[in-house]
Each structure stands twice: as C-alpha cells, then as structure tokens.
Amino acid sequence: MKLNPEQQQAVEYIGGALFVLAGAGSGKTRVITEKIAYLITQAGYKPHHIAAITFTNKAAKEMQERISHRLGKNQTRGLIVSTFHALGMRILREEATNLNYKKNFSILDSSDSAKLIGEMLASSGREPIIKAQHQISLWKNNLLSPDEVYAICENDWQMQTAQIYSRYQATLQHYQAVDFDDLIRLPAILLRENGEIRLKWQNRLRYLLVDECQDTNACQYELLKLLTGLEAKFTVVGDDDQSIYAWRGADMENLRRLQQDYPQLKVIKLEQNYRSTARILKIANQVIGNNPKLFPKTLWSNLGEGDAARIMACRDEVHEAEFVVQQIAKNKLLYDANYADFAILYRGNHQARLFEDALRVARIPYQISGGQSFYDKAEIKDVLAYLRLLANPNDDPAFLRAATTPKRGIGETTLGKLNAYAQQHECSLFEASGSLNTLATLSTKSRESVQQFIALLRDYQQRAQTDDAGETVQNLLDDIQYENYLLENHAENPKMAESRWKNVQDLCTWLAKKSEERNLVELTQLIALMTLLENKDEEIDAVKLSTLHASKGLEYPFVYLVGCEEGLFPHADSVEEHGLEEERRLMYVGITRAKQQLTMTHCKKRKRAGTWQYPEPSRFLDEMSSDDVVRIGHTSGEVVSQEKGRKNSRALLAMLNQKIGGN
C-alpha cells in the first residue's frame, strides 16, 4: 500500500526538527520505518549514525524486524533501534568511568530497589515503600538531585523521602549499581555537563527518530535535546490526545516545549485512520473535542461508516459481566471470529474478577494483560543473582540472594556481621567476606561456608571471561545443586519443581544462543533491561482483559469498554481539571482500540464495600452524538433480566459447542 501524501511528506522531510502528529491508527510505525529506509537509501545517512527510540522492547523489536525486512540486514548493520533505557545503557556502559562507575555496573530491578528503600524506611509495609519509590522515581525523572529536592520539600513526608533518596543514591554508587531511572538520568547529566562527550555522541548519532514523544518525561526530553544539538536533525512522532501516563512522569508539556526550543519546528498531521470505521472515529473526535487542543486534528477513515456504538445500561456488575460474555459468545458465532478478536477494557484491575468468573462459566479462554514476566519468576531471579555477581561482585542485593539460595550455612547472624563490617569500612559484602577480621568473628562452620561461597564466585568469574555463557551457567547450576534445591523445596509438588527447572534450562539455552553476540557481563545487563516495559503476554487465541492504560498501542475488532460510570471512569480522584482531561484522553484511547464494533457499559447500581451505590453514567457518554450510538436498557423495561441473560448464554454456549463438535 502506498503512503498517503502526509505520510510521504513526513518520510522525505529532513530539513530540521520535525513533529509528526500521528492520530490513533494513522500508520506512524510505517512512517518511521519508511523514513529510516529513506535516510539510508536516499539521504546519505549511514545506519550507525541513526537511532530510532521507542518506549517498549516489543515496539523496538517490531520496528527492527520491519526495517530489516524492508532493506535487508546488511543495509541496516549498526542501526540503533531501542528503548530510551537501552540507549541510555549503551551510553552509560561506554562512559561509565566518567561517572565514577565501572563498566560492569549492575542494574537493579524494581524489587531490588524496593528492598533497599524498605530497609532505609525500616518498613515492611508494601504501601509506604511503593509510595517512596514512586516519589524518588518522579524526582529522578525530573532531573532533580537529592540536594535540589531538599529545597522544594513541602511537608515532613517529602523531607523524609528526600533523606531516603540521598541515602539510596549513595548506596547505589557504593554498590556500583544503577536503577532504571538512572539509565537515562546519568547519561543526561553527563552530556549536559561534559561538552566533549556531548559532541562525541552528537557526531555519532546524527539523526534521531522518537516514537510516542507525548509520553516522554523531563529527563528523556533533556536527553533528546542534548543528543540532537543545534542542527536538530530529528523526527518525533506522537499524539497529545493519547498522553495518559502523567502518573509515571510523562509530561505532555514537552510537546509545547518543542515549539519553544525549536522555533523552526515543522508539524505534519496524520489524520487518516487505517484501523476503525467512521462512526467509531466520530465518537472519538466528539469526546476528545472537549479537551483544550495543543495541536487540533480530526481523525477520518475510508473503511466505511460501520455500526453505531452501543451503550448498555446494566442492572449491576454481575449482569454487566454476563451481558458482555454473552455478546462475545454471540459475535464469535455470528462473525466466525477468533477469541483474540475480543477485548474487555476497564479503568482498574479490580474490575477484572467478575468478567473472569463469567468467562470461566462460559468456558471461554481469556488472558489478563500484564501476566508475570519470565524474568520475574523466582527461579530466574535466583540464577540472575549469580550472574549479576559474576558481572559485578559489589552488587550487594545479588550477593544476599545468591548467598542464601540454595541454603549453604550463611544465615542472618553471619550476614549481619558481614553487613556491619561493610558499612563501617564502606565496602561491599563481597569485599567484607574476604576480610580476615570479619571472618575471625564467625563460627568455624559459618566461616567455611562463606569462604566456599567466595571461592565458587571467584572460580566462575574467571570462567565467565572465556567460556560459553550457557555452558558456564549450566556448570554453576550443577555445582550449587540447584535442581535438587527445587526438588526439595517443592517436595509436595514435583511438577512445580519440574516446571521451574525447565524455565532455568530455557534461560541457559537463550544464554548459549546469545553468547555469540555478547559476553556474560553484557548479557546480564541486557536481561536486567529486558524486564522494563516489557510486553509480557504470549499471543494466544483468548479474550483479552486489560486496563485502558495497558491497551494503548493495541487494536481489536470487538471492544467492550466497561464500567463507564462517574467515580469509576472518570476516576473519583480525577476531580481537578487536569486530571479530568487525562481521563478523557484515556476514554479516547479506549474508543480508538475498536476496529469494527464498540460496546460501552455502565451499571445502574454497583456494590462497593458491601453497600449498594447508584452511580451516574460517565459524563463522557453524554459527549457522544445520538446519531452514532444506540442506547440499550436506559428504561427499566429494556434491561434483560439476569435469568433470561443466563438462559441466552446457555443457548449460545450450546450452539458454540455444537459448532465445535461439528468441525
């Protein structure tokens, strides 16, 4: 399919700073891919001078595959297609010594970070730890140092958290570790303060393309500015109407700053939608039209008018779930669709349970977005703790996990003595374990256990320099008898032990495959990065249950947008004008996920904390033209009873089973 005129213009414009205002479903990924091809084949750019930056590993992988298919791997050798964090890691790894870090620094994941902060808070409660962790992350994303934070604290809690931030950052430096926020923050600080290094990277990355620029935070925007320099050779793609991540630091004002920082900024609008029918887009335009516009646009489509959207008033949340599941069963038969063609989208995760129950009763397979990542599994984190130590012996969180998994006679008392020495002498636990003074304070049995553990690590640190990564890890697992540990730990459930050991073997296979490209240190850093913003869902034929936030970037022929009620969506906390605008953008995102059919539901009553409440329908539903929606059940006589609904569901299920049996 040919590019439309606006897409073609966006591809060929290389005269300076360019903002491509890409509405939902307007083909922005294709534009970025074609522009990379144009830069290489027509504009004289070498692949290694181009970087395309996305927000998720999945998006980066998809873009890399598209451009490789478009031009062939030989013509794209050296091209950088990565997330912001992966690009930051690349810069940080090369420039580590300029920030007083070793090249084999460790990357702490969210759970490691939370554990450190929890120890500093002297709290085991999840809520205060997560709250402090989130605040520190926001400060980092705004490029605020601990000293700068002290000056802006508004209450005692912020002051306490600022103190934790200061201690936390000092501990990271001591551990020779960074967290995910540092992967962008530290390179931004370095490029801002060191003109020579800044010029070096500007000369290396001569053209930048940034996807989803409305989701950038202050730190990411600063890194973009520092890398592009005065020539401003870049293309950013985004949509202010899809800015829905303010809660994690995204700042839509960055789009306004683009116009201020680059007065010659060219803006090209992509308004033709290739996903949804015209009526769905009319509803989306009507809703988002009630927000103030930074860059006005109107989505349109050549895919036909399509069906009117439906707004269903349900009796209560149980009826809502049964109605939606009944409609899924009906439409699967009617349109000969796959289960994966259907999505149930909601504002909060707590809404999923009743839909799960109804889907199970109807024997319809489903998948909840955001399942556990492979790298979040306990057995994988155990193995990665050893790999992190081989890469960086000063990684104390990894030391604590590896030293105690499997159990080897290094208990809390021993670790307490090692930790006390490490704090007093400002060294790592690994270094403390080699101190004769520390070892002298331990019992004979504990001292031997520590010495055996350190000897094991030193042996495999040497092997990691030359041996195959997969083979090294397999030998390490044999030495620590990790398979036996799993069997003993799951003696009552051997199948669980077998499943976990298989996961470990899958990791070894992956390491062996990747060892041709990277050494074990680089692979360890890569794995840590892969846990960030990863799409964790396998592609299976199942109905997708997802929050609206997690649905962004996806599309489905049939979408059920549920719980459209005041207090739920828009959320009760979004009472201020700015919050309401983001909620409206979230509704816009939900609507534009639908390709063929859109159904929105709300309940006349909903039980909360054991009490019936009678919410008003979402104000967003009133912003939709009656010409483009059909309202069902808005008078008492139109609501299908639960009993009748169940009978309909049973009849549809029987039809579905009969059809399956007939095939």
- Note whether 5-92+194-270 and 300-365+541-661 share their fold: yes
SS3 303: coil
Q: What does the pLDDT look like over 201-246, one tens digit per residue? A: 999 999 999 999 999 999 999 999 999 988 889 999 999 999 888 8
Q: What is the mean pLDDT of residues 591-607?
A: 96
- Chosen CATH of 106-175 out of 3.60.15.10, 1.10.10.160, 3.40.462.40, 1.10.3720.10: 1.10.10.160
Q: What's the CA gap between 538 and 370, in Å, rounded? A: 10
pLDDT reported for residue 535: 46
Per DSSP (E only), the strands in 37-184 are: 50-54, 80-83, 106-107, 177-178
Q: What percent of the chain has pLDDT over 70?
A: 92
pLDDT reported for residue 655: 59
State yes or no: pLDDT of 141 exceeds 80: yes
pLDDT reported for residue 607: 86
- pLDDT band (50, 70, 90) for residue 653: low
User: What are the sequence ranges of the domains in the chain?
Assistant: 5-92+194-270, 106-175, 300-365+541-661, 375-534
Which of 18-27, 34-43, 628-637 comes out lowest in average pLDDT?
Answer: 628-637
State yes or no: pLDDT of 50 exceeds 80: yes
Identify the helix (H) or strand (E) that includes residue 613: strand 611-613
Q: What does the pLDDT look like over 552-586, one tens digit per residue? A: 989 999 999 999 999 999 998 886 656 899 999 99
To the question of whether residue 531 is assigned a binding role by annotation, the answer is no
Please tell me which residue in 109, 179, 212, 395 is annotated as part of the active site.
212
Q: Is 35 a catalytic residue?
A: no
Q: Domain 375-534, what fold?
A: PCRA; domain 4 (1.10.486)
Structure tokens at 147: 């000293």
pLDDT reported for residue 526: 76
Q: What is the mean pLDDT of residues 348-371?
A: 87
Q: What's the CA gap between 126 and 106, in Å, rounded? A: 24
Using CA atoms, how far residue 639 sits from 167, 171, 630, in Å, is: 59, 60, 14
pLDDT reported for residue 638: 44
pTM for the full model?
A: 0.81
pLDDT reported for residue 11: 97
To the question of whether residue 24 is assigned a binding role by annotation, the answer is yes
pLDDT reported for residue 124: 63
Closest CA to 532 of 102, 135, 112, 95: 112
Structure tokens at 117: 């902060």
Which of 102-116, 262-276, 364-378 comes out lowest in average pLDDT?
Answer: 364-378
State yes or no: pLDDT of 434 exceeds 70: yes
Using CA atoms, how far residue 580 sits from 332, 567, 571, in Å, is: 35, 11, 8
To the question of whether residue 515 is assigned a binding role by annotation, the answer is no
State yes or no: pLDDT of 662 exceeds 70: no
Please tell me which residue in 202, 214, 242, 438 is annotated as part of the active site.
242
Phi, psi of 331, rounded to the nearest 5 degrees: -70, -30
- pLDDT band (50, 70, 90) for residue 651: low
Phi, psi of 410, rounded to the nearest 5 degrees: -110, 95
Q: Is 628 a catalytic residue?
A: no
Q: Is 441 a catalytic residue?
A: no
State yes or no: pLDDT of 660 exceeds 70: no
Q: What is the mean pLDDT of residues 481-501?
A: 89
Q: What is the mean pLDDT of residues 615-632?
A: 94
Which parts of 274-374 fold into alpha helices (H)?
278-288, 317-335, 352-361
Q: Domain 300-365+541-661, what fold?
A: Rossmann fold (3.40.50)
Identify the helix (H) or strand (E) that includes residue 555: none
Mean pLDDT of the chain: 89
Phi, psi of 177, rounded to the nearest 5 degrees: -135, 155
To the question of whether residue 25 is assigned a binding role by annotation, the answer is yes
- pLDDT band (50, 70, 90) for residue 369: confident
pLDDT reported for residue 641: 46
pLDDT reported for residue 416: 83
Q: What's the CA gap between 291 and 578, in Å, rounded? A: 10
Provide the 10 A C-beta neighbour count for residue 478. Answer: 10
Q: Is 597 a catalytic residue?
A: no
To the question of whether residue 470 is assigned a binding role by annotation, the answer is no
pLDDT reported for residue 656: 57
Please tell me which residue in 8, 9, 12, 29 is annotated as part of the active site.
29
Please tell me which residue in 28, 140, 282, 381 is annotated as part of the active site.
28
State yes or no: pLDDT of 329 exceeds 50: yes
Length of the chain: 663
Please tell me which residue in 6, 211, 251, 522 is annotated as part of the active site.
211
Q: Is 29 a catalytic residue?
A: yes
To the question of whether residue 37 is assigned a binding role by annotation, the answer is no
Structure tokens at 466: 């030359």
User: Which position has the higher pLDDT, 422 or 531?
Assistant: 422
To the question of whether residue 235 is assigned a binding role by annotation, the answer is no
User: Which position has the higher pLDDT, 324 or 645?
Assistant: 324
Per DSSP (E only), the strands in 97-233 are: 106-107, 177-178, 207-210
Domain 5-92+194-270, CATH class in plain words = alpha beta
Q: What does the pLDDT look like over 253-283, one tens digit per residue? A: 898 899 999 999 999 999 999 999 999 999 9
To the question of whether residue 29 is assigned a binding role by annotation, the answer is yes
Q: What is the mean pLDDT of residues 380-384?
A: 90
pLDDT reported for residue 370: 61
Q: What's the CA gap between 291 and 286, in Å, rounded? A: 10
C-alpha Rg value of the chain to the nearest Å: 27
pLDDT reported for residue 438: 87
Site of tokens 């950013």: 236
Q: Is 97 a catalytic residue?
A: no
pLDDT reported for residue 30: 93
Cβ atoms of residues 19 and 56 within 8 Å: no
pLDDT reported for residue 636: 46
To the question of whether residue 23 is assigned a binding role by annotation, the answer is yes
State yes or no: pLDDT of 510 exceeds 60: yes
